[in-house]
Amino acid sequence: MPSTVFVTDPTHTEHHSAGHPERPERLEAIVAHLEALGLRGRMRELAPREATDGELLAVHTPELLAAVERAAARSAFLDPDTYTTPETPGIARRSAGALLVAVDAVLRGEAANGFVATRPPGHHATAGQAMGFCSFNGIAIAAASVLRAGVERLAIVDWDVHHGNGTQAVFDADPRVLYVSTHAYPFYPGTGGVSEIGTGEARGTMVNVPLPRETGDEGFVAAYERVAVPALERHRPQLVLVSCGWDAHARDFLATLNVTTEGYLRAASLVITAARGLCDGRLVATLEGGYDTHALAWCSSGLAELLLGEPVTPDPEPVAPPPGPDVTSIIEAVRIAVGL
């Protein structure tokens, strides 16, 4: 069977700002843990590359590319949350390019699936604005590349705790792209309500599940059982991309959904199983948010084991948050809004 590919970028450490939560230790924790469990060696590692101007401009405006370069020259902030260093433009291009490398390998049949562990994240960046720690929107850039290559239907599943406003905005009117997001609401960036379902011929392809504080595992997993998987089955994608943020975790200090490692991996297993039935398992996950290093490490290793088809090694320090609120009414409202 073709292998699981893994792509990371050792140069990411040059993108850092003292005291900022989007820090090199995030990715270092993941890579060190994958090595400690022997998982890095069981995946086929590919080198990243920089996304080209043409690949970036398929999603972003020339003005954004210029703004990132200008800000980086001064180590300035692109918005109140999004910092740059002189090395940021190249690192952000490699973060997007790493996903392109993994997707190309999967589409050529050289790999069954893939995991891309790079930073900075991308799903908040819109066509013309860097925001929310994100300079370029890697998952949107990869999706645009796939569509140009002739793929007729693809899906993006976003389990970051924050709504991927940038990704949704790029594909809001494109019926070829299914976007499914589970996220805390109301919460940054303030988008992702039930009524945001896409425009024109794409109505029903933007699927948002806005979850309340302290939702927990059962509500989170129910959103995948009752919304995400049925939406995937209806859309029949030829490739699934995952915006893989681990910041809905109960350990994470920036978020409030109280999902455990086990709950996250239950949801991930549902998506991976659906991809196997719908598109021969063609799925590539790319790191977005997640700021607790323990949660980052153990959720990422569990995801790698699921992609490899191996038993999941349990988190040795599980958390047990109290049961969350009943989200049945929210899930049913989403199903009605998008016609599931």
Please indicate whether residue 33 is annotated as part of the active site. no
Of 112, 159, 121, nearest to 140 by C-alpha is: 121
DSSP 235-258: H--S-EEEEE--TTBTT-TT----
| Tokens read off for 151 | 């793929």
d(CA 284, CA 201): 26
Peptide bond into 89 cis (omega under 30): no
Give every CB contact of residue 238 below 8 A, 6+ residues apart in sequence. 151, 152, 153, 154, 279, 282
**Whole-number CA gyration radius for the chain:** 18
Phi, psi of 89 (to 5 degrees): -55, -45
Q: What is the DSSP letter of 77?
A: E
Adjacent-strand bridge partners of 207: 180
Give every CB contact of residue 267 below 8 A, 6+ residues apart in sequence. 159, 182, 220, 221, 223, 224, 228
Catalytic residue among 124, 163, 183, 235: 124
DSSP 260-319: -HHHHHHHHHHHHHHHHHHHTT-EEEEE-----HHHHHHHHHHHHHHHHT-PPPPPSS--
Write out the catalytic residue numbers: 124
